[in-house]
Amino acid sequence: EVQLVQSGAEVKKPGESLKISCKGSGYSFTSYWIGWVRQMPGKGLEWVGLIYPRDSDTRYSPSFQGQVTISADKSVSTAYLQWSSLKASDIAMYYCARQGGGLDAFDIWGQGTMVTVSS
Amino acid sequence: DIQMTQSPSSLSASVGDRVTITCRASQSISSYLNWYQQKPGKAPNLLISAASSLQSGVPSRFSGSASGTDFTLTISSLQPEDFATYYCQQSYTTPYSFGQGTKLEI
């Protein structure tokens, strides 16, 4: 079964660092781009960025450039989204998704990782 | 960046109704338009890619069409399980922006 499994919910303090993960299985992890999508509470979907695990080519939305870092470790079929200093405005559900549908649609999604930032 | 404008933002309908949701791109995106369904507490699910290509397993009451920079998602006969939020997304050029969503309610 093709699936993406994300790491569990996180509760952090402002200023702390965080790295969440997304592990792919059931397909060739290095053959598909992996994207990250943010959904703030009660709000819509926002495209964060993409990574191609084979060579770690990465693209960011200007809104997130410099705010987060996307990486991947192809040896463990896992993509990551990380923050060096969390803010309250980072509170959201973060989804990873495989770009494997026709014309680069996200065809497989992870279950989401909820990030809470609170002092 | 390409802006995606969805309308309406919310829609009340009944089981059996025919429903249309529209998405307009701020510039040409060819057929690089995808539709997703999201139910509360769940990850989005791909319904249609490339403007009109139905994903495997998605009921045939869902269809997509395109006319220039205007794209339409149609549900021919609403079923109880279709009440959800729907998003369009362009995958023509990064950042691959989403529309703001359409909440379909009873």
Q: Which of B55, B97, B98 sits opposite A101 (nearest CB)?
A: B55
Burial class (CB in 10 A: 0-12, 13-18, 19+), A89: exposed
The stretch B81-93 carries a mean pLDDT of 96
Q: Which residues are CB-contacts of A119 (< 8 A; sequence separation ≥ 6)?
A: A13, A14
pLDDT at A102: 79
Look-up: residue for tokens 């139910």? B39
The stretch B79-94 carries a mean pLDDT of 96
Single-letter amino acid, residue B35 = W
Q: Do B50 and A102 touch (CB under 8 A)?
A: yes
Q: Which of B31, B32, B46 sits opposite A107 (nearest CB)?
A: B46
CA dihedral A70, B89, B37, A1 (to 10 degrees): -50
pLDDT at A24: 98
Compute the distance between CA of residue A103 and CA of residue A107 in angstroms, rounded to an integer.
11
Nearest to A20 by CA among A98, A56, A60, A72: A72
The stretch A96-113 carries a mean pLDDT of 94
pLDDT at B78: 96
Chain B residues inside the 8 Å CB shell of A47: 89, 94-98
Task: Give the confidence band of A103 by pLDDT, cuts at 50, 70, 90.
Answer: confident
Yes or no: say if B40 and B102 are a contact pair by the CB < 8 Å rule.
Answer: no
The stretch B35-43 carries a mean pLDDT of 97
Q: Do A45 and B87 touch (CB under 8 A)?
A: yes
Kind of pairing, strands B19-25 and B45-49?
unpaired
Task: Give the confidence band of A50 by pLDDT, cuts at 50, 70, 90.
Answer: very high
pLDDT at A101: 79
Q: Do B46 and A61 touch (CB under 8 A)?
A: no
pLDDT at B106: 81
Q: Do B91 and A46 touch (CB under 8 A)?
A: no
- Minimal Cα–Cα distance from A98 to chain B, Å? 11
Q: Do A103 and B100 touch (CB under 8 A)?
A: no
Mutate to test the interface with A, among B4, B49, B86 (most CBs of A within 10 A): B49
Task: Give the confidence band of A112 by pLDDT, cuts at 50, 70, 90.
Answer: very high
Nearest to B19 by CA among B72, B68, B57: B72
- Minimal Cα–Cα distance from B81 to chain A, Å? 20
User: Considering only alpha carbons, which residue of chain A is nearest residue B32?
Assistant: A103
3-state secondary structure of B93: coil
Beta bridge partners of B105: B12
pLDDT at B44 over 90: yes
pLDDT at A62 over 90: yes
The stretch B22-41 carries a mean pLDDT of 97
pLDDT at A28 over 90: yes
